[in-house]
């Protein structure tokens, strides 16, 4: 896409400069300082807080990836990331807990994406029902600690909140068993059939959760059905954390008026970081082990793997079990953070979201999957939500979009569309034979041109736009799927290997692309 | 690609700093935010948006006393999409903003119940204009209050009315599996059986488009009436399919039926439907005439049922904040103080009458209305015929009165 | 579909045989489910007090069969879209459920605008139905072709997962785009077909079977008749025309077909058009039948139709029909009978449906009518 040489020179210069370790280190330090200062300086009361916090937090959340990408000494990289995770983020969180909330959610989805990566990325088994294991972990903790009148509560089997860590472990085991149970019937299935059966399993778990409030006769309530389980217990806050907050508050002269919220969120944050680190370590160990290589063999060519003596059944079941176990642990964490669990959070679209995170990030690559989870979560939870809040803020102060701004935006969009239409026409004119695709080009060009002209004309004839006239059914927070869908389509067309692809994958897709170019269209 | 990303990031953060520096900082200490949660998108958006609009109107009308005390009052509406998860997420977000002192919401009891757990943990007061399930207040949370009635009174009102018709000997009860729908269906069922009406079936469904499979068994049992504890975006579709399949009996619903979209979705099939509601038709509130007029001027249409209740909830909230400020010596009060002031509301004159909260946060006495749909035209929804009004004290108030009577 | 080699008349080959086959499927599925239902009645004579299961089944049988056939044909038409595309490209078009929804929304817009212009009462109901269905077929077909051109063709050489994700992306995008469109133009989410204002379509037909009056919805009959007509037409198209032969050739072996002089891209576009058209027809017929749709209505029927296509053997057109009918019948009977079992209730219908799918796939991994594709090493 970047074709003009006038842009290449400064970019090339920057790239060369950054390959020098000290310049790169200075750049990183400057980057962190600027972004952090921007975040710290944000004022919640300001009406444009939502947009500002989006613009400032997104680069901050991507700092670990920036760090890893720069060519500096690994010791500095480690130091920077430790500083970021254990000093900078918590302090920022103390100032404004909504950032901690975001960080925790990113960690949760990153954990899920890493788990799915093992099944889909390492072993090549397309699992569309992955969210079921997440549900198992979440419901496990919720059923045993919720004060709702379920069978467990009635039989006095509730557990104290301090058994949270034990239950994370139990969640791992139970989810792993679930993974094996899922894997057993689907061993013989390939590709699309595997996808539909795993999808069916995911849906079945959700429906079971939804309907297990009147099981049998007389009816026994297990999961409280679609009403969900609320009041789920949170792990007790250790004393050192409780003491930590006032200490930091005094040392940095912060003004914290909700110490209880802060301490609670900090606890979840640290637990989440710990869990993610453990998951990353386990995943890396698996990747570089004989098990990981066996998975690669199965993924690439199952028949050849069998011929080479890879124990297919055991390896497949192991993949399902390991992937599921990550989800189980994260499920327990999620349940206690939300204090509310209902079947709706475990629908098919969640499974697909996680799959999308894996694909967008780079299937099979741990770093890629982490980046994918980060990007997608930021998109859903930061960008779109803040856009919604921003619009309602603007509604409040009766903000008006001036006419000239509308014209400029419409002209830019219109020119872009006309340029695309021109490209279509040119490719039709240049093609050497008449084919149906040529007519499609012309139709496409005409349609684009019409849209462009309509947009520009509309912009000129409309007046200024009152934000309060924005229809309420058009809440941006509700349109995550639209943005998501466009993101997926664009990623697949332009970068099908993902943002940070694994080496083998990238080669594979590059080969496919060149092959396609050589053949031309079939 | 990565280099470009770096440059982009750096540029963006510089823009962020610049924009931030350009913003006025004068506002921080003296901003009060009132938040609301209701479905602003999806099938129930009509009611949720009406709630939101009524709240906005109330804030505009009644914020002057607070402005005079030196505070800026802002309104932050949230879309809970009628989904518990989203409601809880929004609640988690909300509590992180220290300027938000009160939440007006929700529309669905099933969303209110888990979200109120979050509000309770952070002492954030919640006033509900429309949540009728008993469990909303029966948990004894000190921050939860409501200006409407309860389903353990509304359900039996419906059953008694049906029994009073004399022609209903059997009923088939459906619900939508939410706490609200299932709750009120259960209350209705218990009272119906007590009144001698045979309950031929009690089924829950989450189906929203194709009710064929459910209608078959119902028609086979041939009940005199069907009661559907659910909300109009589901019950109206069910009714129109049931009528098309040949059902000729009575149809009754709870206050989830009370919205003009019921007529819009069911068309002519809606005529003759009975429904109970904890929200009165606009004609019943003499003080609400001006509110209706203002609403029409601002939003171009009549408010939906629960509009006046939303207005009142906001009025109570603003009044309570004012009380809390004065008790706090003119300074911004804490959330706990506001919650206490809200709970202490006594004989506050609202559009829907005098409002007092009992020790559980219920409205001390509430009215329940039984109406019948007269026309399939949604614009004429407020002209539905009001058949009966029942006044019932909240359980706690009733208990007090009987104790004092002795 | 089976084509008779002997010199039978055109009518016999392309009308009687397919219709006969469809009727056999319907009757077979109905018999199977009835047997299953009465077997349950023998095993559990009174699942609830005062309920004799056999009596209830008897009363509900005509209704269950008709609603099973109706929804079965809807699923079959949607499943055709999945199976046709899979046949030529070996790829699951996840966006097909949204094409179904799109057809429903187009049908809604057409009938809504006619109603707003005041012609609803004056035009003949038959004309209205034909207009709605044809328009939605054309629009959905075109949409499918555009999607293929824009999002699938550039990805043709890529590994399996890539176009699948792209399809998912399109599905998400379409659902929300339609939602945004309706939000901006009508500020509405639920879209109602004003069928109740057309007496000819909204009054049920009442017939007496023995002592029980059975009410049949007119829209159900419309769905069944329309579906049968379209399936007959499809059968003729696929088996009796040159274009149809081209599609079959491409689905058998793409490169050989292109060597034979067939314009493969045209065939693929045509397949998408036909599949999309059927999905769109299913959408508007479904909308007519249930009365109200919303932009997310495509998800569950799409999932079930996909299950039906896999059940019947994906890639096989007859299999799609069989799978759809079977699934529709199963669903209808289960939700009608499970209601009487207090331990279960009608909510478990979906679970049983999935269980059936999984069982079938375990014992016949290629589906009921699918071919065993051996893995070539």
- The pLDDT of residue B3 is 52
Answer yes or no: do A493 and C177 touch at CB < 8 A.
no
Q: For residue C332, give the chain B residue with the closest CA.
A: B213
- Above 70 in pLDDT, residue C299? yes
How do beta strands B365-372 and B274-277 pair?
antiparallel
Extract the runs of DSSP E, i.e. beta strands, from B55-191.
72-79, 100-105, 125-128, 144-146, 170-175
- The pLDDT of residue C228 is 92
Closest in C307, C351, C365 to A208, CB measured: C351
The structure tokens 């609803």 sit at C120
Q: Quick one: B126 and B193 in the same domain?
A: no
Identify the band that residue C376 occupies on the pLDDT scale cut at 50, 70 and 90. low
SS3 C193: coil
- The pLDDT of residue A522 is 39
Instruction: Count CA atoms closer than 13 A to C142's CA, side-chain side.
Output: 9
- The pLDDT of residue A175 is 95
Q: Do A238 and A74 meet the contact criterion of CB atoms below 8 Å apart?
A: no
Distance CA B40, CA B55 (A): 13
Q: Over the stretch C78-107, which tens digit does the pLDDT of each residue have?
A: 999 999 999 888 888 989 999 999 999 999
Whether residue B350 is contained in a domain is answered as yes
Mean pLDDT calculated for residue range C29-36: 90
Could you give the C-alpha distances from B251 to A32, A350, B235, B269, C293, in angstroms and in order?
64, 37, 10, 10, 22
Could you give the C-alpha distances from B224 to B247, B249, C58, C310, in angstroms and in order?
10, 5, 21, 43
Distance CA C38, CA C41 (A): 5
Burial of A437 (0-12, 13-18, 19+ CB in 10 A): middle
Q: Quick one: B273 and B391 in the same domain?
A: yes
The structure tokens 């009796």 sit at C240
Mean pLDDT calculated for residue range C343-370: 76
Distance CA A316, CA A147 (A): 39
Mean pLDDT calculated for residue range C33-60: 82
Q: Over the stretch A116-133, which tens digit does the pLDDT of each residue have?
A: 999 998 998 889 889 999
- Above 90 in pLDDT, residue A426? no
- Above 90 in pLDDT, residue B145? yes
- Above 80 in pLDDT, residue A356? yes
Q: Over the stretch B329-372, which tens digit does the pLDDT of each residue have?
A: 888 888 999 999 999 998 899 998 899 999 999 998 899 999 99
- The pLDDT of residue B23 is 41
DSSP C115-173: HHTT-TTTS-HHHHHHHHHHHHHHHHHHHHHHHIIIIIGGGTTS-THHHHHHHHHHHHH
Q: Which residue has the higher pLDDT, A521 or C112?
A: C112
DSSP A397-457: TT-EE-HHHHHHHHHHHHHHHHHHHHHHHHHHHH-SS--HHHHHHHHHHHHHHHHHHHHHH
Angle separating helix axes A480-494 and C161-186, nearest 10 degrees: 140
Whether residue B12 is contained in a domain is answered as no
Whether the CB of B382 is below 8 Å from some CB of chain C: the reply is no
Q: Quick one: B252 and B376 in the same domain?
A: yes
Identify the band that residue B310 occupies on the pLDDT scale cut at 50, 70 and 90. very high
Identify the band that residue C372 occupies on the pLDDT scale cut at 50, 70 and 90. low
Out of A451-460, A506-515, C233-242, C349-358, the most confident range is C233-242
Q: Quick one: B190 and B251 in the same domain?
A: yes
Whether the CB of C64 is below 8 Å from some CB of chain B: the reply is yes
Mean pLDDT calculated for residue range B193-217: 88
Instruction: Count CA atoms closer than 13 A to C174's CA, side-chain side.
Output: 27
Whether residue C10 is contained in a domain is answered as no
Answer yes or no: do B244 and C206 touch at CB < 8 A.
no
Mean pLDDT calculated for residue range A340-366: 86
* Most B-contacting residue of A3, A24, A227 (CB-CB within 10 A), to test interface: A227
CA distance A467 to chain C (A): 14
Mean pLDDT over each residue of chain C, to the nearest integer: 85
Question: What is the reported pTM?
Answer: 0.86
- Above 80 in pLDDT, residue B5? no
Closest CA to A356 of A384, A375, A338, A382: A375
Residues 6+ apart with CB under 8 A from A233: A141, A145, A146, A160, A161, A164, A336
- The pLDDT of residue B130 is 93
The structure tokens 């990565």 sit at B2
Domain count within chain C: 1
Mean pLDDT calculated for residue range A357-371: 89
Whether residue B112 is contained in a domain is answered as yes
- Above 60 in pLDDT, residue B24? no
Identify the band that residue B126 occupies on the pLDDT scale cut at 50, 70 and 90. very high
Q: Do B38 and B48 meet the contact criterion of CB atoms below 8 Å apart?
A: yes
Token code pair at residue C190: 């639920």
Answer yes or no: do C340 and B217 touch at CB < 8 A.
yes
Out of A10-19, A106-115, A206-215, A236-245, the most confident range is A106-115
- Above 90 in pLDDT, residue A26? no
Distance CA A235, CA A514 (A): 54
SS3 B368: strand
- Above 50 in pLDDT, residue A63? yes
Beta-carbon contacts below 8 Å between A and B: 154
Mean pLDDT calculated for residue range B41-64: 91
- The pLDDT of residue A430 is 72
Whether residue C7 is contained in a domain is answered as no
Identify the band that residue A515 occupies on the pLDDT scale cut at 50, 70 and 90. low
Q: Which residue has the higher pLDDT, B323 or B6?
A: B323
The structure tokens 């999607």 sit at C147
Closest in B203, B212, B243 to C339, CB measured: B203
* Most A-contacting residue of C176, C190, C309, C365 (CB-CB within 10 A), to test interface: C176
- The pLDDT of residue A490 is 84
Q: For residue A490, give the chain C residue with the closest CA.
A: C166
SS3 B395: helix
Q: How many CB atoms lie within 10 A of CB B51?
A: 31
B-chain residues near C50 (CB < 8 A): none
- Above 70 in pLDDT, residue C355? yes
Answer yes or no: do A356 and C165 touch at CB < 8 A.
yes
Q: Which residue has the higher pLDDT, B52 or A397?
A: B52
Name the neighbours of C, counting chains with at least 3 Cβ pairs within 8 A.
A, B
In this structure, what are the phi and psi dihedrals at residue B128, rounded to the nearest 5 degrees? -105, 130
Q: Which residue has the higher pLDDT, A343 or A9?
A: A343
Whether the CB of B240 is below 8 Å from some CB of chain C: the reply is yes
Q: Quick one: B239 and B91 in the same domain?
A: no
C-chain residues near B182 (CB < 8 A): none
Q: Which of A504-513, B270-279, C133-142, C184-193 has the lowest mean pLDDT?
A: A504-513
Give the residue numbers spanning the domain of B335.
29-149+283-363
Q: Over the stretch A245-262, which tens digit does the pLDDT of each residue have?
A: 888 888 877 777 677 778
- CATH assignment of the domain containing C199: 1.10.3470
Mean pLDDT calculated for residue range C159-183: 87
Q: Over the stretch B95-113, which tens digit does the pLDDT of each residue have?
A: 878 889 999 989 999 899 9
Q: Over the stretch A428-438, which tens digit does the pLDDT of each residue have?
A: 777 655 555 66
Contacts 24+ apart (CB under 8 A), A439-448: A440/C149, A445/A421, A446/A421, A448/A417, A448/A418, A448/A420, A448/A421, A448/A424
Burial of A172 (0-12, 13-18, 19+ CB in 10 A): buried
Angle separating helix axes A97-116 and A49-61, nearest 10 degrees: 50
Q: Over the stretch A144-195, which tens digit does the pLDDT of each residue have?
A: 998 888 888 878 888 888 889 999 999 999 999 999 998 888 887 777 778 8
Q: Over the stretch B253-284, which tens digit does the pLDDT of each residue have?
A: 999 999 999 998 988 889 999 999 998 888 88
Percent of chain A with pLDDT over 70: 90
How do beta strands C292-293 and C191-192 pair?
antiparallel
Whether residue C260 is contained in a domain is answered as yes
C-chain residues near B209 (CB < 8 A): 290, 292-294, 297
Give the residue numbers spanning the domain of C29.
17-363
Q: Over the stretch C213-264, which tens digit does the pLDDT of each residue have?
A: 778 888 889 999 999 999 989 988 888 888 988 998 998 888 899 898 888 8
Q: Which of A13-27, A95-109, C54-68 has the lowest mean pLDDT?
A: A13-27
Percent of chain A with pLDDT over 90: 23
Q: Which of A13-17, A104-108, A349-353, A480-484 has the lowest mean pLDDT?
A: A13-17
Q: Quick one: B394 and B260 in the same domain?
A: yes
Whether the CB of B13 is below 8 Å from some CB of chain A: the reply is yes
Closest CA to A361 of A511, A491, A489: A491
Note the residue count of chain A: 522
Whether the CB of C58 is below 8 Å from some CB of chain B: the reply is no
Closest in A34, A46, A393 to B17, CB measured: A34
Q: Which of A71-75, B246-250, C140-144, C363-367 has the lowest mean pLDDT?
A: C363-367
Token code pair at residue C56: 């209830």
Whether residue B96 is contained in a domain is answered as yes
- The pLDDT of residue A56 is 84
- The pLDDT of residue A214 is 74
Whether the CB of C192 is below 8 Å from some CB of chain B: the reply is yes
Q: Which of B48-62, B147-161, C359-373 has the lowest mean pLDDT?
A: C359-373
- Above 70 in pLDDT, residue C375? no
Percent of chain C with pLDDT over 90: 30
Q: Quick one: B244 and B165 in the same domain?
A: yes
Q: What angle do CA C158, C159, C165 make, to 5 degrees?
A: 90
SS3 B279: coil
Mean pLDDT calculated for residue range A204-218: 80
- The pLDDT of residue A3 is 46
Burial B272-306 (b: 16+ CB within 10 A, else e): ebbbbbbbbbbeebeebeebbebbeeeeeebbbbb
Closest CA to C216 of C226, C202, C196: C202
In this structure, what are the phi and psi dihedrals at residue A229, rounded to the nearest 5 degrees? -110, 120
Answer yes or no: do B27 and A56 touch at CB < 8 A.
no
A-chain residues near B113 (CB < 8 A): 227, 230
Closest in A210, A340, A477 to B114, CB measured: A340
Give the end-to-end CA distance of chain C in Å, rounded to a whole number.
Answer: 31
Q: Quick one: B133 and B166 in the same domain?
A: no
Domain range annotation of chain A: 2-394, 403-463
Identify the band that residue B229 occupies on the pLDDT scale cut at 50, 70 and 90. very high
CA distance B183 to chain C (A): 18
Distance CA A465, CA C275 (A): 42
Answer yes or no: do A485 and C188 touch at CB < 8 A.
no
ipTM: 0.84
Whether residue B348 is contained in a domain is answered as yes
- The pLDDT of residue C7 is 53
Distance CA B402, CA B79 (A): 42
- The pLDDT of residue A118 is 93
- Helix spans in A212-311 (H): 239-252, 259-287, 290-300, 302-307
Domain count within chain B: 2
Distance CA C300, CA C286 (A): 13
Contacts 24+ apart (CB under 8 A), B161-168: B161/B274, B161/B276, B161/B370, B161/B387, B161/B388, B162/B192, B162/B195, B162/B197, B162/B225, B162/B227, B162/B250, B162/B252, B162/B274, B163/B192, B163/B195, B163/B196, B163/B197, B165/B250, B167/B224, B167/B250, B168/B197, B168/B224, B168/B225, B168/B250
In this structure, what are the phi and psi dihedrals at residue B225, rounded to the nearest 5 degrees? -145, 155
Distance CA A470, CA A459 (A): 16
- Above 90 in pLDDT, residue B122? no
């Amino acid at each position: 896409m970047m074709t003009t040489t006038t842009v290449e020179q400064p970019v090339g210069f920057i790239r060369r400069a950054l390959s020098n370790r000290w310049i790169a280190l200075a750049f990183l330090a400057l980057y962190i300082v600027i972004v952090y200062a921007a975040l710290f300086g944000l004022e919640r009361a300001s009406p444009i807080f939502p947009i500002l916090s989006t613009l400032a937090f997104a680069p901050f959340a991507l700092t670990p990836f920036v760090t890893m990408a720069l060519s500096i000494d690994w010791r500095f990289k480690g130091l920077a990331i430790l500083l970021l995770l254990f000093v900078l983020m918590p302090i920022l969180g103390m100032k404004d807990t909504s950032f901690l909330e975001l960080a925790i959610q990113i960690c949760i989805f990153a954990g899920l994406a890493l788990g799915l990566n093992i099944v889909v990325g390492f072993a090549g088994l397309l699992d569309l029902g992955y969210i079921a294991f997440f549900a198992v972990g979440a419901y496990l903790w919720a059923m045993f600690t919720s004060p709702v009148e379920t069978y467990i509560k009635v039989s006095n089997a509730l557990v104290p909140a301090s058994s949270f860590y034990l239950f994370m472990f139990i969640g791992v085991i139970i989810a792993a068993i679930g993974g094996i149970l899922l894997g057993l019937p689907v061993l013989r299935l390939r590709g699309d059939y595997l996808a539909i059966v795993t999808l069916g399993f995911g849906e079945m778990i959700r429906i079971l959760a939804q309907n297990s409030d009147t099981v049998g006769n007389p009816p026994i309530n297990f999961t409280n059905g679609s009403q969900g389980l609320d009041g789920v217990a949170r792990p007790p806050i250790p004393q050192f954390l409780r003491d930590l907050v006032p200490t930091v508050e005094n040392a940095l002269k912060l003004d914290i008026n909700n110490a209880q919220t802060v301490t609670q969120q900090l606890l979840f944050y640290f637990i989440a970081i710990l869990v993610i680190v453990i998951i990353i370590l386990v995943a890396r160990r698996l990747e570089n082990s004989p098990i990981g290589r066996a998975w690669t063999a199965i993924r690439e060519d199952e028949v050849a793997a069998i011929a080479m003596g890879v124990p297919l059944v055991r390896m497949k079941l192991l993949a399902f079990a390991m992937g599921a176990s990550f989800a189980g642990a994260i499920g327990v964490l999620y349940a206690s953070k939300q204090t509310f669990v209902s079947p709706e959070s475990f629908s098919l679209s969640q499974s697909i979201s996680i799959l999308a995170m894996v694909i967008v990030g780079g299937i099979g690559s741990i770093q890629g999957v982490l980046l994918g989870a980060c990007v997608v979560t930021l998109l859903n939870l930061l960008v779109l939500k803040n856009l919604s809040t921003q619009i309602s803020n603007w509604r409040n102060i009766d903000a008006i979009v001036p006419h000239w701004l509308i014209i400029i935006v419409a002209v830019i969009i219109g020119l872009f569309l006309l340029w695309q239409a021109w490209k279509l026409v040119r490719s039709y004119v240049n093609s050497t034979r008449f084919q149906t695709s040529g007519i499609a080009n012309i139709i496409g060009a005409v349609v684009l041109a019409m849209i462009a002209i309509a947009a520009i004309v509309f912009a000129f004839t409309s007046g200024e736009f009152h934000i309060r006239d924005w229809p309420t059914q058009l809440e941006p927070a509700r349109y995550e799927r639209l943005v998501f869908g466009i993101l997926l389509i664009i990623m697949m067309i332009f970068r099908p290997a993902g943002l940070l692809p694994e080496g083998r994958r990238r080669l594979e897709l590059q080969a496919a692309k060149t092959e396609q170019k050589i053949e031309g269209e079939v | 690609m990565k280099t470009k990303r770096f440059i982009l990031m750096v540029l963006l953060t510089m823009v962020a700093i610049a924009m931030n520096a350009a913003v006025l900082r004068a506002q921080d200490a003296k901003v009060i935010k009132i938040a609301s949660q209701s479905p602003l998108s999806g099938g129930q958006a009509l009611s949720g948006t009406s709630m939101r609009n009524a709240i906005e109107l109330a804030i505009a009308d009644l914020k002057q006393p607070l402005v005079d005390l030196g505070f800026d009052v802002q309104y932050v509406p949230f879309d809970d999409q009628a989904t518990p998860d989203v409601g809880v997420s929004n609640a988690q977000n909300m509590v992180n903003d220290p300027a938000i002192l009160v939440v007006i919401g929700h529309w669905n009891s099933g969303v209110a119940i888990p979200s109120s757990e979050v509000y309770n943990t952070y002492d954030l007061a919640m006033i509900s204009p429309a949540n009728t399930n008993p469990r909303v207040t029966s948990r004894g949370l000190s921050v939860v209050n409501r200006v409407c009635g309860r389903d353990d009174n509304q359900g039996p009102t419906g059953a008694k009315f049906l029994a009073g018709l004399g022609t209903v000997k059997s009923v088939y009860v459906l619900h939508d599996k939410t706490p609200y729908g299932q709750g009120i269906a259960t209350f209705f069922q218990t009272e119906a059986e007590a009144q001698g009406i045979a309950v031929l079936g009690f089924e829950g469904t989450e189906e929203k488009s194709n009710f064929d499979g459910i209608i078959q068994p119902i028609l086979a049992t041939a009940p005199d009436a069907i009661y559907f504890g659910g909300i109009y975006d589901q019950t109206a579709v069910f009714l129109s399919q049931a009528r098309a399949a040949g059902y000729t009996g009575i149809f009754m619903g709870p206050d989830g039926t009370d919205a003009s979209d019921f007529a819009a979705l069911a068309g002519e099939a809606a005529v003759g439907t009975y429904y109970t509601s904890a929200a009165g038709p606009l004609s019943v509130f003499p003080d609400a005439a001006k509110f209706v007029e203002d609403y029409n001027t601002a939003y171009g249409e009549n408010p939906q049922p629960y509009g006046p209740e939303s207005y009142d909830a906001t009025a109570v909230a603003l009044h309570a904040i004012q009380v809390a400020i004065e008790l706090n010596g003119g300074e911004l009060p804490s959330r706990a103080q506001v919650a206490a002031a809200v709970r202490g509301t006594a004989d506050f004159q609202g559009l829907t009458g005098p409002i007092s909260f009992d020790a559980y946060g219920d409205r001390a006495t509430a009215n329940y209305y039984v109406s019948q749909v007269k026309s399939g035209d949604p614009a004429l929804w407020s002209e539905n015929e009001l058949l009966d009004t029942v006044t019932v004290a909240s359980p706690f108030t009733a208990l007090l009165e009987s104790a004092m009577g002795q | 579909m089976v084509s008779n080699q002997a010199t039978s008349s055109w009518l016999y080959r392309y009308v009687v045989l397919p219709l006969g086959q469809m009727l056999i499927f319907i009757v077979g599925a109905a018999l199977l489910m009835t047997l299953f239902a009465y077997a349950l009645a023998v095993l559990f004579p009174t699942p609830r007090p005062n309920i004799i299961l056999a009596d209830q089944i008897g009363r509900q049988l005509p209704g269950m069969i008709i609603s099973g056939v109706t929804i079965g044909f809807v699923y079959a038409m949607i499943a055709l879209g999945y199976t046709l595309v899979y046949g030529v490209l070996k790829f699951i078009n996840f966006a097909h459920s949204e094409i179904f929804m799109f057809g429903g929304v187009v049908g809604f817009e057409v009938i809504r605008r006619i109603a707003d212009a005041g012609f609803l009462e004056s035009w003949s109901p038959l004309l209205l139905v034909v207009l709605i269905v044809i328009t939605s077929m054309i629009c959905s077909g075109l949409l499918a072709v555009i999607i293929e051109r824009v999002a699938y063709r550039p990805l043709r050489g890529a590994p399996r997962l890539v176009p699948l994700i792209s399809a998912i992306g399109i599905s998400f995008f379409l659902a929300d785009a339609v939602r945004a469109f309706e939000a901006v133009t009508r500020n509405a989410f639920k879209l109602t077909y004003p069928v109740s204002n057309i007496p000819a379509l909204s009054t049920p037909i009442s017939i007496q079977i023995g002592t029980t009056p059975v009410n049949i919805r007119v829209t159900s009959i419309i769905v069944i008749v329309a579906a049968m007509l379209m399936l007959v037409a499809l059968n003729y198209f696929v088996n009796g025309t040159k274009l149809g032969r081209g599609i079959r050739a491409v689905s058998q072996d793409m490169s050989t077909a292109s060597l034979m002089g067939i314009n493969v891209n045209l065939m693929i576009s045509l397949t998408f058009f036909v599949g999309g058209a059927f999905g769109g027809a299913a959408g508007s017929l479904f909308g007519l039948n249930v009365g109200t749709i919303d932009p997310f209505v495509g998800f569950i029927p799409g999932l079930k139709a996909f299950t039906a296509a896999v059940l019947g053997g994906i890639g096989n057109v007859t299999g799609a029909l069989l799978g759809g009918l079977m699934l529709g019948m199963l669903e209808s009977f289960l939700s009608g009978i499970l209601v009487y079992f207090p331990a279960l209730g009608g909510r478990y219908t979906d679970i049983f449906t999935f269980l059936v799918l999984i069982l079938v796939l375990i014992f016949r991994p290629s589906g009921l009518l699918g071919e065993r594709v051996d893995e070539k090493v």
